[in-house]
Amino acid sequence: MARRPRKRKPRKRRRIDPQELKKIMGETVSVKCAFCDGKGKDPFGLLSTLSDCQVCLGAGKVKVRKPVTKCAFCEGTGIQPYTTSRLHCSACGGKGSVTVIEPAMDCPTCGGTGVYPRRPHPMPCHTCKGQGVVPKRQLVIGEGNW
Ligand SMILES: [Zn+2]
Ligand SMILES: [Zn+2]
Ligand SMILES: [Zn+2]
**Cα of 120 from ligand 1 centre, angstroms:** 28
Q: What is the pLDDT of residue 102?
A: 82
Q: How far apart are CA 117 and CA 135, in angstroms?
A: 22
Q: What is the mean pLDDT of each run of 10 residues along the chain (146 residues)?
A: 66 68 73 96 82 95 93 96 89 94 90 92 93 76 44
Identify the nearest ligand to the CA of 79 by its number.
2
Q: pTM score, two decimals?
A: 0.74
> Rounded to whole angstroms, how far apart are CA atoms 104 and 106?
7
CA gap 27, 24 in Å, rounded: 6
CA of 133 to the centre of ligand 2 (A): 13
